[in-house]
Amino acid sequence: MIILGVDTSEDYARIALWNNGSLAGESTTEQRFHHAEGLVPLIEQVLVETGIEKKQLELVSVNRGPGSFTGLRIGLATAKGICQSLQIPLVGIDGTFVCRTQLDDSASVCVLIPNRRNLLYARWFTGMRPDSEVRVMEIEELLAHLNEKRKNLLVAGSAAGSIRGQLESIPWIRVAPDKVNQPSATQVALLGEKYYSQDEIYTLDPQYVELSVAQITLGSRGEQ
Is the separation of the CB atoms in 79 and 6 below 8 Å? yes
Tell me what the pLDDT averaged over the chain comes to: 92
Domain co-membership, 137 together with 198: no
Q: What is the pLDDT of residues 155-193, one digit of tens each?
A: 999 999 999 999 999 999 999 999 999 999 999 999 999
pLDDT at 222 over 50: no
Query: In CATH, what number is assigned to the domain containing residue 47?
Result: 3.30.420.40
Within the chain, where are the H helices?
Answer: 35-50, 69-86, 95-100, 139-149, 158-162, 164-168, 185-195, 213-223
Domain co-membership, 170 together with 123: yes
Q: Does the residue 92 lie in any domain?
A: yes
Q: What is the pLDDT of residues 38-74, one digit of tens each?
A: 999 999 999 999 999 999 999 999 999 999 999 999 9
Alpha carbon distances (Å) from 28 to 34, 92, 117, 131: 10, 19, 24, 32
pLDDT at 82 over 50: yes
pLDDT given for residue 104 in this prediction: 84
Domain co-membership, 50 together with 122: no
Domain co-membership, 91 together with 24: yes
Could you give the CA distance from residue 151 to residue 168 in angstroms, rounded to a whole number?
A: 13
pLDDT at 99 over 90: yes
pLDDT given for residue 106 in this prediction: 82
pLDDT given for residue 146 in this prediction: 95
Domain co-membership, 43 together with 148: no
pLDDT given for residue 208 in this prediction: 87
Domain co-membership, 72 together with 19: yes
pLDDT at 217 over 90: no
pLDDT given for residue 116 in this prediction: 81
Q: Does the residue 17 lie in any domain?
A: yes
Domain co-membership, 110 together with 170: yes
Please state the domain count of the chain: 2
pTM: 0.90
Q: How confident is the model at residue 221 (pLDDT cuts 50, 70, 90)?
A: very low
Domain assignment of residue 90, given as a range? 2-96+184-208
Q: Does the residue 223 lie in any domain?
A: no
pLDDT given for residue 210 in this prediction: 67
Q: Is 93 left (phi over 0), alpha (psi -120 to 50) or beta?
A: beta
Q: Does the residue 8 lie in any domain?
A: yes
pLDDT given for residue 211 in this prediction: 57
- Which of 111, 203, 217, 98 has its CA nearest to residue 157? 111
- Which of 13, 71, 12, 14 has its CA nearest to residue 189? 14
Is the separation of the CB atoms in 95 and 156 below 8 Å? no
Domain co-membership, 118 together with 62: no
Reduce the DSSP state of residue 33 to 3 states and report it.
coil
Can you spell out the DSSP letters for 97-162?
Answer: HHHHTTS-TTSEEEEEEE-STTEEEEEEEETTEESS--EEEEHHHHHHHHHHH---EEEESHHHHH
pLDDT at 214 over 50: no
Q: Does the residue 217 lie in any domain?
A: no
Domain co-membership, 168 together with 125: yes
Could you give the CA distance from residue 121 to residue 96 in angstroms, rounded to a whole number?
A: 9
Q: Does the residue 140 lie in any domain?
A: yes
Task: Give the residue-averaged pLDDT of 86-99.
Answer: 97
Domain co-membership, 91 together with 190: yes
Q: Does the residue 224 lie in any domain?
A: no
pLDDT given for residue 216 in this prediction: 43
Domain co-membership, 6 together with 90: yes
